[in-house]
Amino acid sequence: MQAHDALREFVIFRLDDEYFAFDVSEVAEVFAYQEPVRMPRAPKFLVGVIDVRGHMLPVVDLRLRAEVEAHTQPRHILAIRLGERFIGAIVDEVCEVYEAEEDRIGEVALLGDKLNPQFVKRVLRWGRRLVPVVDALNLLTKDEALRLRRMRPNPRRRRGERSAN
């Protein structure tokens, strides 16, 4: 590697026996898996929410998004940046943060028809594998992103305070 070659970092994760990646700039945090709490009248694309230091984080199951069978208990939830909002993404396991030179990153055409091109923005060469790099901004459809923006977190009530119904 020459000094002028730029390195990019990726979070490599596993869904069943398939590997994927996010650009590290799109991953705010990695959490140990906790069962999301289902919310009444929540949009169908959300599997629930988790409490992250007093804030509710809406969660999607990336296995469903990537159309990968769920054979194992997930181990992690990634907090993914979607503009100014965050969404949790269930993954089976986070494998590593991988530094790649530009020549290890290719176009989606390398994967053929394996995945929806809206879901994947690049392909990463990781060892002998070709790993799809998920496009965080296309993780949700436009309608789902709009519904997420309209969701308002419930204000925390003080003990003994009643709701204004």
Q: What is the pLDDT of residue 124?
A: 94
Q: What is the pLDDT of residue 157?
A: 40
Per-residue pLDDT 10s for the chain (165 aa) are 455 568 999 999 999 999 999 999 999 999 999 999 998 877 777 899 999 999 889 999 988 888 788 788 899 999 999 888 899 999 999 999 999 999 999 887 655 555 566 778 899 999 999 999 999 988 888 888 887 777 655 444 444 444 343
Measured CA to CA, the distance from residue 79 to residue 56 in angstroms comes to 12
Q: Give the bridge partners for 79, in sequence order.
A: 29, 88
Q: What is the pLDDT of residue 9?
A: 97
Q: What is the pLDDT of residue 105?
A: 92
Give the CA-trace dihedral at 63, 70, 97, 135, to 10 degrees: -10
- Tell me which residue of 85, 33, 39, 37 sits closest to 63, measured CA to CA: 33
- The structural architecture, per CATH, of the domain 7-150 is Beta Barrel (2.40)
Measured CA to CA, the distance from residue 89 to residue 3 in angstroms comes to 35
Domains in the chain: boundaries: 7-150
* Element (DSSP H or E) covering residue 117: none
What is the value of pTM for the model shown? 0.81
